[in-house]
């Protein structure tokens, strides 16, 4: 499984160089405007030249991007890839001028540079030449590898070029079935974040086209933008799915939500639908039903392949630089063949998807967001700085992170201990799903906020703040302290914190510390953390008069050391509910003056011992600002 983990890292690396392609498409589209009428007669040529230049140097961009993506933006790896491509191109063009460097070659040199960096970044040489050790060794090593690689390619490049053209002819000979198979596999691999690998083959390798200038380009995407009248079959069929099918699923989820949750779900999924329609980012919608109904996702993948087959049979050719959203559809329509047909096909597709998913959700009682209290995919962009430290805790803390990257919709992690992950906490903090790929490789799907979350997590890692992290002391629902039906707790006269409505009669420790007080009735307990915070847990409201083991039974005594999740008190839930004002259980810090800032997870259902429900940053010991 670690092999799959390495593949998902490679897939993410392929995405990095593709961020330049929308610029090329935009330049090409803008070059069609009547600049002469606007008094800028040379602007069309400038814009077209800018677009052509990006595609010309695409192999160099991929070499650099793949190397950076594999190494977490290591400059030595990027420099090695760039030098390697320069050496390769110089040798090839001087020996076999008719052979052009391809994106495949750029990707190979990028991979070599990335793995070389990971192999030699800590290399120690004798002291007198240690200047060339470590990361500085990587460009030298890759330079020699590129030299040997180029010499070998001089002999086999013509055969390889012919093989790529033959591969394109073979795929073309499969007709609509080949396009269907690609569409199906593309959607299935999206689950694992590996769809970029299969897309890379079809978009940048299959088939060749010689431009008017004699330059040969490979792959469906570059050929489409170079003017190849046969290119676009592996992209056109994605438009109905991303522009219409996924938004239709979002509307089906909204309309099948419970009435009390519908306002929040509507806001969340309208944004998700708009993101899919405009930009082709589909994961926020797909992951909403993937984990609760994987069989429905397989049906979705089959339908996506069928849609691509239909567009192929109708002779529709269209392309995109980023993804099959409305923005790319409009920008690139001038290069399309029968592209307008995608709109009626998309409308029919949307209608089919909408009624199919509403029927399936209702028929099989699928717990999509809005049908369960713990629905995820909240709209919480402004809350990211506060949730990021909690997400970091749910991942197992900074000590558990070996590597952390992000793509458009997910955090891509390599962790040292997968068992340290708190899946419930991550879902409670907004994750649509968590995918384990083995070998410590994990993906956490947060939608389009993933990059922002990663940045805030890095800030939290680099800040040396003294923090105390809290686990849930019981199973139930977390609520703001202000909602506790008691003016003392709600007014924060005892201290600041949160409260819980229990589902089970067990109270566990939310922190590491020492028991400093247990009330005689055992309805409340105080814990002091190693940082000096005094935490009060009070089971129910007006429960101090409920004496006896038939109500509360303590499993610790004063002076005991406790750890998160350790059982403190067991209580009779039914009796306490019947004979108290409320089951609301405050968890407050009584010496709140020691706290500089507070962070809370969303107020929703939690599991007993679940991490990341609250964290606090302490003031400096001298009463000043944050610990630096």
What are 302-339's pLDDT values in tens digits? Answer: 999 999 999 999 999 999 887 888 988 998 998 999 99
Task: Please identify which residue in the block is written with the tokens 């991979």.
Answer: 111
The DSSP secondary-structure symbol of 101 reads P
Q: Going by C-beta distance under 8 Å and a sequence separation of 6 or more, which residues neighbour residue 129?
A: none
Mean pLDDT of 276-284: 81
Q: Please say if the pLDDT value at position 376 is more than 50.
A: no
Q: How far apart are CA 437 and CA 418, in angstroms?
A: 10
Of 166-175, 360-369, 469-478, 604-613, minimum mean pLDDT range: 166-175
Give the pLDDT confidence score for residue 301 in this predicted structure.
Answer: 92
- Pairwise pLDDT comparison (24 vs 580), residue with the higher score: 580
Residue % of the chain over a pLDDT of 70: 89
Q: Write the burial class of residue 382 (CB in 10 Å: 0-12 exposed, 13-18 middle, 19+ buried).
A: exposed
Q: Yes or no: say if 280 and 326 are a contact pair by the CB < 8 Å rule.
A: no
More confident residue, 103 or 249: 249
∠385-605-495 over CA atoms, to 5°? 65
More confident residue, 626 or 404: 404
pLDDT at 620 over 70: no
| In contact, 472 and 478? CB cutoff 8 Å | yes
Q: Tell which wins on pLDDT, 339 or 8.
A: 339
pLDDT of 3 over the 50 cut: yes
Q: What is the mean pLDDT of residues 103-122?
A: 88
Domain architecture of the chain: domains with CATH: 1-174 (no CATH), 232-372 (no CATH), 383-464 (3.30.1360.60), 468-618 (2.70.70.10)
Q: According to the model, what pLDDT value does residue 1 have?
A: 43
| Whole-number Å distance between alpha carbons of 411 and 9 | 11
Mean pLDDT in residue range 524-553: 91
pLDDT in tens, 18-67: 778 778 777 877 887 888 878 888 888 898 888 888 888 888 998 998 89
pLDDT in the model for residue 624: 39
195-204 and 176-190 are packed helices; what angle lies between their axes, rounded to 10 degrees? 150
- What pLDDT score was predicted for residue 375? 41
Return the pLDDT at 582. 93
Cα 600 from Cα 459, distance rounded (Å): 18
pLDDT at res. 215:
76
CA dihedral (530, 531, 533, 537) positive or negative: negative
Euclidean distance between CA atoms 386 and 460, whole angstroms: 10
pLDDT at 388 over 90: no
pLDDT at position 556: 94
Q: Is the dihedral of CA 43, 49, 52, 54 positive or negative?
A: negative
Question: Which pLDDT band, with edges at 50, 70 and 90, does 408 fall under?
Answer: low
Q: What is the pLDDT of residue 373?
A: 46
* Alpha-carbon gap, residue 506 to 62, rounded angstroms: 56
Does residue 413 register a pLDDT over 80? yes
Tell me if residue 407 is catalytic. yes
Q: Which residue is listed with tokens 């001298």?
A: 622
Whether 432 has a pLDDT exceeding 70, the answer reads yes
Check the CA dihedral 77-80-84-85 and report its sign: positive
For position 267, what pLDDT does the model report?
79
pLDDT-based confidence at 382, cuts 50/70/90?
A: low
Burial of 51: CB neighbours in 10 Å, binned 0-12, 13-18, 19+: buried
Annotated active-site residue in 407, 444, 601, 616: 407
The pLDDT score that the predictor gives to residue 431 is 81
Q: What is the C-alpha to C-alpha distance for residues 333 and 339, in angstroms, rounded to an integer?
A: 7
Residue 623 has a pLDDT of: 41
Region 259-271: what's the mean pLDDT?
Answer: 79
Q: How many CB atoms lie within 10 A of CB 166?
A: 12
Percent of the chain with pLDDT over 90: 35
pLDDT reported for residue 23: 80
pLDDT at 406 over 80: no
Residues 6+ apart with CB under 8 A from 291: 433
Q: CA 66 to CA 122: how far, in whole Å?
A: 21
Burial, 574: exposed, middle or buried (Cβ in 10 Å; 0-12, 13-18, 19+)? exposed
What rounded mean pLDDT belongs to the chain? 84
Q: How confident is the model at residue 410 (pLDDT cuts 50, 70, 90)?
A: confident
Helix (H) or strand (E) holding 252: helix 246-255
Which pLDDT score, from 0 to 100, does residue 8 have? Answer: 60
Taking alpha carbons only, the member of 220, 193, 13 closest to residue 108 is 13
What is the per-residue pLDDT for 209?
Answer: 83
* Dihedral over Cα of 307, 308, 313, 318: its sign: positive
DSSP secondary structure letters along 169-193: HHHHHTTHHHHHHHHHHHHHHHTTT
């Amino acid at each position: 499984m670690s092999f799959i983990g390495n593949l998902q890292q490679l897939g993410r690396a392929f995405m990095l160089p593709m961020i330049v392609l929308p610029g090329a498409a935009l330049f090409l589209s803008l070059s069609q405007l009547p600049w002469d009428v606007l008094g800028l007669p040379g602007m069309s040529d400038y814009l077209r030249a800018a677009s052509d230049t990006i595609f010309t140097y695409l192999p160099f961009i991929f070499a650099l991007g793949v190397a950076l993506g594999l190494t977490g933006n290591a400059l030595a790896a990027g420099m090695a890839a760039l030098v390697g491509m320069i050496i390769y191109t110089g040798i090839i063009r001087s020996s076999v001028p008719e052979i052009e460097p391809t994106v495949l070659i750029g990707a190979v040199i990028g991979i070599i540079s990335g793995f070389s960096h990971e192999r030699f970044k800590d290399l120690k040489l004798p002291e007198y030449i240690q200047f060339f050790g470590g990361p500085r060794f990587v460009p030298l090593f890759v330079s020699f590898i590129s030299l040997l690689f180029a010499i070998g390619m001089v002999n086999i490049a013509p055969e390889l070029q012919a093989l790529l053209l033959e591969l394109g002819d073979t795929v073309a000979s499969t007709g609509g079935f080949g396009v269907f198979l690609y569409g199906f596999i593309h959607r299935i691999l999206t689950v694992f974040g590996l769809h970029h690998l299969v897309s890379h083959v079809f978009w940048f390798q299959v088939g060749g086209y010689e431009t008017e200038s004699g330059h040969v380009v490979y792959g469906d995407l570059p050929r489409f933008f170079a003017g190849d009248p046969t290119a676009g079959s592996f992209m056109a069929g994605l438009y109905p799915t991303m522009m219409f099918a996924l938004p239709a699923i979002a509307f089906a989820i909204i309309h099948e939500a419970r009435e009390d949750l519908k306002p929040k779900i509507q806001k969340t999924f309208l944004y998700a639908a708009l993101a899919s329609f405009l930009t082709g980012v589909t994961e926020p919608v797909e992951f909403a039903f993937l984990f609760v109904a994987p069989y429905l996702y397989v049906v979705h993948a089959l339908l996506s392949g069928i849609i691509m087959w239909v567009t192929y049979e109708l002779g529709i050719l269209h392309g995109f630089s980023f993804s099959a959203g409305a923005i790319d559809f409009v920008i690139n329509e001038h290069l399309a063949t029968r592209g307008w047909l995608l709109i009626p096909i998309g409308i029919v597709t949307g209608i089919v998807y909408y009624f199919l998913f509403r029927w399936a959700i209702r028929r099989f009682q699928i717990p999509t967001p809005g049908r369960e209290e713990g629905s995820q995919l909240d709209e919480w962009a402004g809350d990211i700085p506060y949730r990021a430290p909690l997400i970091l805790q749910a991942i197992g803390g900074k000590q558990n992170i070996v590597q952390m990257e992000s793509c458009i919709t997910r955090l891509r992690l390599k962790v040292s201990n997968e068992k340290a992950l708190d899946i419930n906490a991550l879902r409670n903090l907004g994750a649509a799903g968590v995918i384990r790929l083995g070998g410590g490789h994990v993906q956490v799907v947060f939608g389009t906020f993933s990059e922002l979350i990663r940045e805030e997590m890095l800030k939290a890692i680099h800040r040396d703040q003294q923090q105390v992290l809290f686990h849930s002391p019981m199973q139930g629902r977390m609520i703001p302290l202000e909602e506790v039906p008691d003016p003392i707790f709600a007014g924060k006269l005892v201290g600041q914190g949160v409260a819980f409505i229990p589902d089970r009669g067990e109270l566990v420790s939310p922190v590491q510390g020492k028991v400093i007080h247990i009330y005689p009735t055992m309805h409340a307990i105080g814990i002091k953390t190693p940082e000096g915070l005094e935490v009060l847990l009070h089971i129910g409201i007006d429960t101090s008069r409920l004496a006896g083991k038939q109500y509360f039974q303590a499993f610790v005594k004063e002076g005991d050391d406790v750890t998160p999740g350790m059982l403190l008190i067991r209580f009779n839930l039914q009796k306490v509910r019947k004979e108290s004002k409320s089951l609301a259980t405050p968890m407050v810090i009584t010496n709140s003056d020691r706290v500089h800032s507070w962070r809370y997870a969303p107020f929703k259902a939690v599991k007993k011992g679940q991490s990341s429900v609250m964290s606090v940053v302490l003031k400096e010991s001298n009463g000043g600002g944050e610990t630096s």
